[in-house]
Amino acid sequence: MRRVYLDNNATTALAPEVYEAMKPFWLEDYGNASSIHWYGQRAKAAVETAREQVARLINARPSEIVFTSGGTEADNAALVGIVEAARSETKHIVTTAIEHHAVLHTAKALEKKGVQVTYVRVGPSGVADPADIERAIRPETVLVSVMHANNELGTIQPIEDIGRIAREHDIYFHTDAVQTVGKIPVDVEKLGVDLLSLSAHKLHGPKGVGALYVRKGTILRALMHGGHHERDRRPGTENVTGIVGLGKAAELAREHLDTEGRRIAALRDRLEEGILHSVPLSAINGDPARRLPTTTNLRFDYIEGEGFVIAMDLRGVACSTGAACSSGSLEPSHVLSAVGLRPEQARSSIRFSLGRFNTAEDIDTTLEILPDVVEHLRAVSPHYKGAVAIVK
């Protein structure tokens, strides 16, 4: 059976060039980057090269890049680090209702410690209004954190406008750019951010490694206690192999950004048009004009998303639901609920996310299979039968 992977927002395949770059650091160049001997110096040099590669991708200085264990740690480090370093007695954060759990659950944990948090709502477009962010700012606000692109909908937030507002109010601004770095141009100067999270495995790099960009002069408390690694901002022996992989993935992403962005957007559009044309009662979720080139989120009325994903998987196509399965019960996704979808609409929503290794053939295979899968699922849906009977 031909297999098609359309779940690149969950994770991406490692690029062969990245794998090659990492290889020597498993068996030969295994030094500790803090050691002063030859082995250590080789590891240190590789880490510093990777720091330059990552910095170049986002227009930062190498000294502003802090390597982490991934996007989740970078998000935690940004929120907790700014709050803990802030001197004021009352502390307030502004964020949105559609952030990744790495930000949302960190904000919830901070609330339990007395920090006040405003979760700004977004409309059906899935895009936050900068005026709403500004209205939420208070004298006690220490941080604004708004994601660059949403992982479920792919919608891109007006980060430049929000950055301007944060600057005018002299408040630190963090963006979770895990879904954008390597997919669309990301420039920390243009965006006006003080902190930015990224993760290697979303850009054809390895899992378990990422980075936090920290603008020079930002006052941040380290999340963990330990040695003086990463200029005292993140203790622990560096994951040299992973960091080398992240660096190489960043270099490749920079080289391919323009051409790949256009190619992948064309594939995504072809998939979307094909689906909307061949499947009745299907619709796009979120603003189609302000989206990542890689992502489409669609709903198919009268189907259960989980059943759809399983049926597609049995026929070789990997995609994902907009609904997360938590503790055995199907909870509608907080993102889809936040953009105003009814629970049954959220549960019938599917995300297709593309990457560098997808081809036109992948899209054709998906379009061959998908209408049939939807038809089968609707045929066994009592709600669909009822709705059809009413129409007749």
Residues in contact with ligand PLP by CB under 6 A are 70-72, 75, 100, 102, 147, 151, 176, 178-179, 199, 210
Question: 204 is written with which tokens?
Answer: 């054809």
Nearest residue (CB) to ligand PLP, 72 versus 141: 72
**Closest separation between CB of residue 57 and ligand PLP, Å?**
16
Identify the CA nearest to 29 among candidates 16, 53, 46.
46
Nearest approach in angstroms of CB 150 to ligand PLP is 7
- Give the phi and the psi of residue 284 in degrees, each rounded to 5: -85, 140
**Closest CB to ligand PLP among 130 and 210?**
210
Q: In this structure, which amino acid lies at residue 180?
A: T
Calpha distance 351→378 (Å, rounded): 19
Residue 349, strand partner residues: 299
Q: Is 325 a catalytic residue?
A: yes
State the nearest-atom distance from the C-beta of 389 to ligand PLP, in Å.
Answer: 41
- 8 Å CB contact between 148 and 176: yes
- Closer to ligand PLP by Cβ: residue 193 or 373: 193
- Nearer to ligand PLP by C-beta: 75 or 304? 75
Which residue has the CB atom at the shortest distance from ligand PLP?
A: 71
Shortest CB 102 distance to ligand PLP, Å = 4
Helices (H), 59-178: 71-85, 101-112, 130-136, 159-168
Here the tokens at position 84 are: 């803990």
Choice between 200 and 370, CB closer to ligand PLP: 200
- Measured between alpha carbons, how far is 297 from 290 in angstroms, rounded to an integer? 13
- Smallest distance from the beta carbon of 70 to ligand PLP, in angstroms? 3
d(CA 12, CA 309): 18
Active-site residue, from 45, 131, 325, 380: 325
Q: Supply the DSSP symbol for 205.
A: S
Residues annotated as catalytic are 325
